[in-house]
Amino acid sequence: MSKQRTETYQKASDQFVRLWGEMASAWGINKTMAQIHALLYAERDPLNTDMIMKALGVSRGNVNMNLRSLMQWQLIEKVSIEGNRKDFYTAEKDVWNIVAVLIEERQQREIAPIHKSLEECLEMFEREGGIGDDEQKNEEQKLEEQEFKERIENFLEFLIMFDRFTKAMIPYINRKNLGFLKKLVKIAEAHQNLKEAVSGVVGGGKSDGGGSNFGEGGGSNSGEGSGSNSGEVSNSGGDQSA
């Protein structure tokens, strides 16, 4: 940090640290933790506690606490500098690894507790004797309980699938798999484009009443007389999506 910086470098570094601090809540961490990580990420050389305190204007206790948290998250590591007894720190520089860690940490800190709470909600129905077993409940109350239980089950089903999807994808979130991820995105985009195209065709047919294009009166266009043309259009559309 004692080395001379260019004005451009310093401005960009300052803005990056501010931005990362503002994004802290989105990543599920506090502002100081995010700023320390951003500072270490922006610096080529490792920094010690005093350097971080001076750069960010925060207390030693605050810096030390957040350095420990960042090490627990495996976003930074402690390194030794020959001839210097102080501890120095450097950040993980691979953005793919950083994002994978943040996703995994948020999964453990936020999704898992929600999952557990929803399961506890469902257990309440079982502990109380099950849906509709209480003779004092009227039909409307039984129905209300059943519908609410189903909504919780749907929510839980989504979280389970989301958890499986995240765990399956995290190992692929790295630069080595960039080609695979691009192909995966293309498949998803092609599928979405196809859905929109089909929806547009069906919607257009309905708005026209289906007479001249798809109904009885549309035989000359979409029926036996235009089978080869329809096939050609469908194939060319498929080539473009691929």
Residue 64 contacts residue 32 (beta carbons within 8 Å): no
Task: Tell whether 128 and 189 lie within a shared domain.
Answer: no
Task: Tell whether 122 and 45 lie within a shared domain.
Answer: no
Identify the CA nearest to 90 among candidates 71, 66, 73.
71
Specify the pLDDT at position 183.
87
pLDDT tens for 58-72 read: 999 999 999 999 999
In a domain, 45, yes or no: yes
User: What three-state secondary structure class fits 23?
Assistant: coil
In a domain, 134, yes or no: yes
pLDDT tens for 131-148 read: 545 566 788 888 888 899
Task: Tell whether 164 and 190 lie within a shared domain.
Answer: no
* Residues in contact with 214: Cβ distance below 8 Å, sequence separation at least 6, in sequence order: 205, 222
Domain end call among 173, 200, 225: 173
In a domain, 30, yes or no: yes
* Residue 4 CB-half CA count within 13 A: 1
Residue 196 contacts residue 203 (beta carbons within 8 Å): no
Give the strand order in the sheet containing 84-91. Answer: 47-48, 84-91, 76-81
Residue 34 contacts residue 21 (beta carbons within 8 Å): yes
pLDDT tens for 96-130 read: 888 888 888 878 877 888 889 999 998 888 776 55
Task: Tell whether 54 and 32 lie within a shared domain.
Answer: yes
* Residue ranges making up the domain that contains 33: 7-92
Mean pLDDT of the chain: 79
Task: Tell whether 106 and 40 lie within a shared domain.
Answer: no
Report the number of distinct structural domains present in the chain: 3
pTM listed for this prediction: 0.59
Task: Tell whether 201 and 153 lie within a shared domain.
Answer: no
